[in-house]
Structure 1
Amino acid sequence: MTDSLKCEQVPYSALATEYGTPLYVYSQQAMAAALNQYQQAFASLQPLICYAVKANSNLSILRYFAQLGCGFDIVSGGELQRVLLAGGDAGKTIFSGVGKSKAEIEFALNNNIRCFNVESLAELERINTIAASLDKIAPISLRINPDVNAHTHPYISTGLKANKFGIAYQDALAAYQLATTLPHLKITGIDCHIGSQLTDLSPLIEALERMLLLVDKLAEQNIELEHIDLGGGVGIVYQNENVPDLAAYATAVSQLLSGRKLQLMLEPGRSLIGNAGGLLTTVEYIKQGEEKNFVIVDAAMNDLMRPSLYQAYHNILNTCPTTADEFVADVVGPICETGDFLAKDRTISAQAGDLLLIQSAGAYASSMASNYNTRCRGAEVLVNGTEHHLIRQRETVPDLLASEIACL
């Protein structure tokens, strides 16, 4: 979305007029370009690229990535249902996450997913027991915590000893040995994921080096693996971060995997959809406070949680030509929380009725949206050239209340 006033060839103002605000807008061409970067960088390794559904799970987005050949990385049974409904291939889907329930494991086995990324010994035992009850063999990969610092926000760092994810590096060999004794498991690979929004990719290489040491030790014990999954985590530019060097990362991975019979799997999410999406919001009021100015908009923390949750930065542009003077203000929503903000201390030129574009909102925006304050989640639109399609209807209050029961 290089033109701040348009998404591809469609003016943002036209989309807001037709669909209202808050409105999530996605560029199909930007999605394809982001995936093509991975495909070109890693061409020599021909990896299975599994889009991380949690980043944005809209059915149309999943369907488009499936059409482009992607597999999927899921973290719940609900996400698997989305993948299947969107036409995704369960045989190219990997199931991650620390708390898989009995029902989720059964559902995944019955749909013949590619493998489970197992995160604990207790989960190994559970999957084996459930597979036995279904007379199936469950394909498993162990997610190993390599204790590598990703140097990212602590809430999205997943590869340290203190994190809840994965099996401790020093326990990995014993975990694989246990897996060999469980008759309804088939060991297929090894997996790690050290964190999200990495712009310096050197920790990913460090993690791979540590994982390959384990692969060699497993081979010494006659435990041969079919694949290695390096997870996701490649970041995007929100403000002034360095552009991640995907080509250099791919070159380093290719060198380390040279001569090994291991299929490479990757789990990108944010880096495929993050910069392909934006959030449109209308200015309701300009408020001059005693100590601060506020631009009050119709989007809120329930539409974009990242600033409140992670103190994350999103660039904000005014799509309307304006002669108003610039001023410093917080951009805030209507929610009854002081933590409801989309930007702090921004220099902005805006007045009531203006249409603002919050950029880089394709990932972890709509997928993390809530109905707090009985607010209806916004509509979603997918743009391709001059065409645009509604891919999620705006919720209504009756939609929110339909499943509730007033019981006395």
Structure 2
Amino acid sequence: MDHFLYKNGALFAEDVAIADIAATVGTPFYVYSTATLLRHFTLFDEALAGMDHLVCYAMKAASNQAILKTLANAGAGMDVVSGGEYLRAKAAGVPGERIVFSGVGKTADEIRLALTGGIRQFNVESEPEMEVLNRVAGEVGVMAPITIRVNPDVDAKTHAKIATGKSENKFGIPIARAREVYALAASLENLEVIGIDVHIGSQLTDLAPFELAYQKVAELTEMLRSEGHNICRLDLGGGLGIPYARSNEAPPLPIDYGKLIERTVGHLGCEIEIEPGRLIAGNAGCMVSEVIYVKSGEGRDFLILDGAMNDLIRPAMYEAHHDIVPVIEPAPGAEQTPYDIVGPVCESGDTFAKQRLMPPLAAGDLVAFRSAGAYGAVMSSEYNTRPLIPEVLVHGDQYAVIRPRPTFDEIINRDTIPEWL
């Protein structure tokens, strides 16, 4: 469910007309719904009710500080994967004890930053990282709380580029080597082993891979405890998918995911962490774009938009589907025509959809890309010297620009020309 609905023939974000935002902000832009963000966070929080838990939002999905503060005010922790994300979370007012640091390539500087600024835990991915973490913690004079990410060799049955739990993926340590790696961690004097971490991928639409992975984690927990390790926290990752196409069958609900967690690991008495990102932010955002031209080609017609692959790269990168709808509601039974929907970037990959059925549209009409709140704005670039597009947050009948569009002068003046030129 989201809060982007037609009212009186026009698309609204909560109680704000999309066309009104476009008239003020210009296109293209991203728009997010506060009500949707909070609803989806609450669904996860309630799904774990009865278990000691923390829902840590995976902020790589959408990391604007206004989004982070909205969720943090509701009680969310944050899952970060870089020093920049750590600083962004702190700037949004998230305390260090609610920040989890994940990622396979943490540098010594990033580790020092988190140790001095406060951190809930590091999710350690390798022995070399563990040794660097131990050294830096000793230099700082603190104990570093860690979980170790295990790779359970479970096929998440998702897109190859977002699968993370198979043996050939770069993430974590093989679960078969967990005993020796935990023994190493216990021998390092500046590390405090507190738990286990696992994350098998993103955009999962079936609970079966989660169940298999969590069963393996439960078995590992009991084995490690029998060897004297204090396993009191389980970080179960994220990955629950969303329905990008309204015609598709809906993925599992957070409540069912919560029941699965309770069934597989609830008996262990561990604090549970989960790290949802896409399901919280995905349907909470749309990208709005304007039709520049309607072009007739050889055997096909094109809708050429002012939004491009640098603004929303998911279709080019993942062959991802986004429902694309007119901002003015079509008349019932309106005839639909197949279009290739493309942007203005000089790449054939700058194609959002091929032969997508759309109602009649003309230059100047607005369209909205649904389910664009996750991995949209955060993955955008200034390719072709196209400015990063604005982000707008709606709250009831109010809205605010939470990232303005930079001017061309601001973009160009970031360059420095050497004296010899």
TM-score > 0.5, shorter chain as reference: yes
Q: How far apart, CA to CA, are the structure 1 residues paired with 2:262 and 2:329?
A: 48
Counterpart residue type for residue 40 of structure 1 = E
Q: 1:255 aligns with which of 229, 240, 263?
A: 263
Q: Name the CA distance, whole Å, in 2 between partners of 1:245 and 1:320.
A: 31
Q: Does 1:65 align with 2:71?
A: yes
Instruction: Please name the residue that 1:219 is paired with.
Output: 225
Residues 4-403 of structure 1: matches in 2 within 5 Å?
4=6, 5-239=11-245, 240-320=248-328, 326-349=336-359, 350-403=361-414
Displacement of 1:245 in angstroms is 2.8
CA displacement at 1:321 relative to structure 2: 5.1
1:242 is displaced (CA, Å) by 2.6
* Amino acid paired to 1:13: A
Structure 1 pair 396/177, CA: closer, same or farther in 2 (3 Å)?
same
Amino acid at match of 2:5: D
Distance 1:375 1:307 in 2: 18
Residues in 1 aligned to 2:376 and 2:48: alpha-carbon distance in whole angstroms: 28
Q: Which runs of 5+ in 2 are unaligned?
A: none
Q: What secondary structure, in the 3-state scheme, does the structure 2 residue paired with 1:242 have?
A: coil
> Could you tell me how far apart the structure 2 residues matched to 1:321 and 1:139 are?
53
**In structure 1, what is the Cα distance between the partners aligned to 2:23 and 2:256?**
43
> Which residue of structure 2 aligns with residue 3 of structure 1?
5
Q: Tell me by how many angstroms 1:172 deviates.
A: 1.1
Deviations 1:324-377 (A, max 9, x none): 853211111111100001222101121110000110000000000001111101
> 2 CA distance for matches of 1:256 and 1:302?
41
Give secondary structure in 2 for the equivalent of 1:97. Answer: coil
Q: How far, CA to CA, are the matches of 2:158 and 2:266 in structure 1?
A: 29
Equivalenced residues, count = 408
- Structure 1 window deviating more from structure 2 (307-316 vs 337-346): it is 337-346
Query: Shift of the alpha carbon at 1:40?
Result: 1.7
Q: Which runs of 5+ in 1 are unaligned?
A: none
* Cα pair distance change 1:241/1:367, threshold 3 Å: farther
CA deviations over 1:171-210 (Å, ceiling 9, x no partner): 1111100001110100011000000001112211111100
In structure 1, what is the Cα distance between the partners aligned to 2:412 and 2:31?
26
What residue identity is the alignment partner of 2:355? D
Cα distance in 2, alignment partners of residues 244 and 305 from structure 1 = 26
Equivalent residue letter for 1:279 = M
Q: CA deviation at 1:41?
A: 1.5
**CA-to-partner distance for each residue in 1:364-391, whole Å, 9 max, x for gaps?**
0000000111110111111111111111
- Tell me, in whole angstroms, the C-alpha distance in 1 between the residues paired with 2:413 and 2:59: 27
* Other structure's SS at 2:364 match: coil
Output the CA distance in 2 between the equivalents of 1:287 and 1:322.
21
Post-superposition Cα deviations, 1:93-145, rounded to whole Å, max 9, x if no partner, equal 11000111111010010012001000011000010011111111111110111
Task: State the shift of 1:257 in Å.
Answer: 2.7
Secondary structure at the aligned position of 2:194 is classed as strand
In the alignment, does 2:414 pair up with 1:406? no
Asked if 2 retains the 8 angstrom alpha-carbon contact of 1:201 and 1:245, the reply is: no
Matches of 1:98 and 1:176 in 2, distance apart? 17
Distance 2:249 2:124 in 1: 33
- How far off is 1:322 after superposition? 5.9
Give 1:46 deviation, angstroms: 3.8
One-letter amino acid matched to 1:348: M
Question: Comparing 73-82 with 232-241, which one deviates more in the overlay?
Answer: 232-241
TM-superposition CA deviations, 1:261-291 (whole Å, max 9, x none): 2100000000101001000000000111113
In the TM superposition, what is the alpha-carbon distance from 1:225 to its structure 2 partner?
1.0
Paired AA for residue 204 in structure 2: L
Give the Å deviation of 1:401: 2.1
Normalising by structure 2, report the TM-score. 0.95
Q: Distance in 1 between matches of 2:249 and 2:58?
A: 22
Distance 1:206 1:183, change over 3 A: same
CA distance in 1: counterparts of 2:371 and 2:270, whole angstroms: 34
